[in-house]
Structure 1
């Protein structure tokens, strides 16, 4: 049966853009599991999750439950589930005859990759969410010296991830085998490519950093970028 994948729409080419939902979408494409996308606007996410018993993934500043995407519904098991890492673990357990996201039982190790990427990428993503709500790019991103400083910090953060890749001896974090961690890295970057565009100065900067590491990563993952 076909999994229903809940994602956040946009007005950008290809529609899909959210970093966290891309992580789960990469996993579905990689495993070759049939799915279809249902698009939920931001104001509808909480109500949809509550309706189908999808648990909150965190809490808001006021202590109330926070409901986020991605989420899935698997009709073959009846499961509703949110959170990209939880979805990856579920797919790994439920569909054992598909390509492995966590080779060698490496789920715990790979989870640290996503955590390390999150803070700096999240800062840019918050800006991108405002863009999606209709604010001009120039109105929400840092400017002047602050922009230069934040961009340099982001490059340095990616440099730390690049060091992990360098130790793997292959194009992926697990060497020659693509895994969840690669999708976590790509998911944290793909929305920047979508928002700014492949020909933008910003994306060309990222693609050139660390000896072209990120350009090569995306070239290796292109086959998993289908939006079904």
Structure 2
């Protein structure tokens, strides 16, 4: 490998973590885990579609009106002249293209890891999304903040402030987030494995996925916030410890 991979990400306003998106963090962790040199090009939300079309990145979804939806993460690998979109596709590409680096999906683990990704996402993603979406919007730079708010409010048919639960409903939603994380924690404690990772002592893409959700909450809520204070104490402190174990892969290049 002679040239660094170009990694496209969305900037935020956090003084330390310019990166914030859980989806792009999956790729950031993956690149660092594999020890592959890369450089980040930050792109504001309103400019993502034009950039993707320019470099030949495919849409990853369809909007309500049927038009293509372009999202990050996206990478351009100058060594193979390849553009790849979507965090899971990127992880698989990196394993296939650079097999002599640490594997995100060790042999014969794809099915089990995919099952874990689906189950863990179902357990925590939507409840977590609802309690951090406003903080996510507030963490963005002005052009991205306006775009994010406008497009999400059209999608939800309500203001973001009305989408985020408050009072008793807010407490209920936070309880759902906690129960989701406790459910995932039980998968670890109900097993006989001795290591802290999904596969025991060896980190894998499943751990990248978990860490990406956690660092998203940590960055947008704030390290000293009440919300992050709750999360890092749940499940006997497992989630704060998980992020600490993954710190070595927090490459902000």
* Structure with bigger gyration radius: 2
How many angstroms does 1:110 deviate by? Answer: 1.4
Match of 1:32 among 20, 29, 35: 35
Question: Which shifted more, 35-44 or 191-200?
Answer: 191-200
User: What is aligned with 2:128?
Assistant: 121
Q: TM-score, normalized by length of structure 1?
A: 0.93
1:217 aligns with 2:219: no
User: What is aligned with 1:164?
Assistant: 187
User: What is aligned with 2:5?
Assistant: 3
User: What is aligned with 2:153?
Assistant: none
Do the aligned residues in 2 keep the contact of 1:130 with 1:140 (CA within 8 Å)?
A: no
CA distance in 1, matches of 2:212, 2:185: 15
1:4-49 CA-partner distances (Å, limit 9, x unpaired): 0000001112210000000110000111100000001000111111
How many residues of Structure 1 are paired with residues of Structure 2 in the alignment? 227
1:109 aligns with 2:116: no
User: What is aligned with 1:152?
Assistant: 175
How many angstroms does 1:105 deviate by? Answer: 2.6
Match of 1:196 among 205, 208, 221: 221
1:131-180 CA-partner distances (Å, limit 9, x unpaired): 22178x97873211111011001111111211222224320000110000
Alignment gaps of 5+ in structure 1: none
User: What is aligned with 1:142?
Assistant: 165
Q: What SS does the corresponding residue of 1:68 show, helix, strand or coil?
A: coil
Alignment gaps of 5+ in structure 2: 150-159
Q: TM-score, normalized by length of structure 2?
A: 0.84
Do the aligned residues in 1 keep the contact of 2:12 with 2:19 (CA within 8 Å)?
A: yes
User: What is aligned with 1:43?
Assistant: 46
Against the structure 1 CA distance between its residues 138 and 65, is the aligned structure 2 distance closer, same or farther, given a 3 Å change threshold?
closer
1:182 aligns with 2:204: no
User: What is aligned with 1:88?
Assistant: 91
Question: Which shifted more, 160-169 or 12-21?
Answer: 160-169
User: What is aligned with 2:81?
Assistant: 78
CA distance in 2, matches of 1:56, 1:138: 29
How many angstroms does 1:63 deviate by? Answer: 1.8
CA distance in 2, matches of 1:24, 1:226: 11
Q: What SS does the corresponding residue of 1:22 show, helix, strand or coil?
A: helix
Do the aligned residues in 2 keep the contact of 1:57 with 1:66 (CA within 8 Å)?
A: yes
Do the aligned residues in 2 keep the contact of 1:70 with 1:82 (CA within 8 Å)?
A: yes
Do the aligned residues in 1 keep the contact of 2:131 with 2:173 (CA within 8 Å)?
A: no
Against the structure 1 CA distance between its residues 143 and 125, is the aligned structure 2 distance closer, same or farther, given a 3 Å change threshold?
closer
Against the structure 1 CA distance between its residues 174 and 151, is the aligned structure 2 distance closer, same or farther, given a 3 Å change threshold?
same
